[in-house]
Amino acid sequence: MTLPKRQAETVSLAEKLSWLRLARTENVGPMTFYRLVDAYGSPERALERLPELSRRGGRSKPLKAPDQSSIEREYEALRKIGGDIVTAGEESYPLSLAAIDDAPPVISILGNIDLAHRGCVGVVGARNSSLNGRKFAEKISRDLGESGQVIVSGLARGIDTAAHAGSLKTGTIAVVAGGIDIIYPEENKNLYQQIKEQGLIIAESPLGVPPVAQSFPRRNRIVSGLSKGVVVIEATMRSGSLITARLAGEQGRDVYAVPGHPFDPRAQGANHLIREGATLIRSADDILEAIRSFSGQTMREPKAPEPRFQSPIPEDFEPPENATETILGHLSFSPVAVDELIRTCLLSISAVQTVLLEMELAGRVKRHPGNKVSLIQE
Domain CATH code at residue 362: 1.10.10.10
Residue 132 in domain: yes
Is the distance from CB of 207 to CB of 180 less than 8 angstroms? yes
Residues 285 and 330 in one domain: no
Q: Are residues 198 and 247 in the same domain?
A: yes
Residues 289 and 342 in one domain: no
Predicted pLDDT at 296: 36
Amino acid at 20: L
Q: What span, in angstroms and rounded, lies between the C-alpha atoms of 49 and 59?
A: 14
Total domains, the chain: 2
**Residue 74 in domain:** no
Residues 151 and 251 occupy one common structural domain: yes
**Same domain membership, residue 280 and residue 190:** yes
Q: Please check whether residues 146 and 271 belong to one and the same domain.
A: yes
Could you tell me which residues come within 8 angstroms of residue 93 by beta carbon, excluding any fewer than 6 positions away? Answer: 6, 86, 87, 107
Give me the CATH number covering residue 128. Answer: 3.40.50.450
pLDDT at 246: 94
* Terminal CA-CA length for the chain: 30
- Domain stop point among 276, 295, 314: 295
pLDDT at 186: 95
> Would you state the pLDDT for residue 183?
96
Per-residue pLDDT at 157: 96
> How does DSSP classify residue 182?
-
Same domain for 256 and 333, yes or no, is: no
**Whether residue 286 sits in one domain with residue 349:** no
28 falls within a domain: no
Shared domain check, 276 and 239: yes
pLDDT at 303: 43
Q: Does residue 69 form part of some domain?
A: no
Q: Are residue 138 and residue 260 in the same domain, yes or no?
A: yes
Question: Which spans in the chain are helix H?
Answer: 13-23, 30-40, 43-56, 68-80, 95-98, 131-146, 159-167, 189-198, 215-226, 240-250, 265-275, 284-295, 323-328, 338-345, 349-361
**Does 336 map to a domain?**
yes
Instruction: Flag whether 179 is in a domain.
Output: yes
Which of 15, 3, 128 is CA-nearest to residue 71? 15
Main-chain dihedrals φ then ψ at residue 342, nearest 5 degrees: -60, -45
- Which range marks the domain in which residue 182 is found? 111-295
Going by the DSSP 8-state scheme, the letter that residue 234 receives in this structure is S
Amino acid at 230: V
pLDDT confidence of residue 319: 84
Residue 275 lies in a domain: yes
The verdict on 328 and 281 lying in the same domain is: no
Asked whether residue 37 is assigned to any structural domain, the reply reads no
365 in the same domain as 227 = no
Q: What is the pLDDT along the chain (378 residues), one digit of tens a residue?
A: 445 555 545 678 999 999 999 999 999 999 999 989 988 889 999 999 999 899 988 888 878 899 999 999 999 999 999 999 999 989 999 999 999 989 999 999 999 999 999 999 999 999 999 999 999 999 999 999 999 999 999 999 999 999 999 999 999 999 999 999 999 999 999 999 999 999 999 999 999 999 999 899 999 999 999 999 999 999 999 899 999 999 999 999 999 999 999 989 999 999 999 999 999 999 999 999 887 765 433 333 444 444 344 455 666 677 888 899 999 999 999 999 999 999 999 888 888 988 999 999 999 999 887 789 999 976
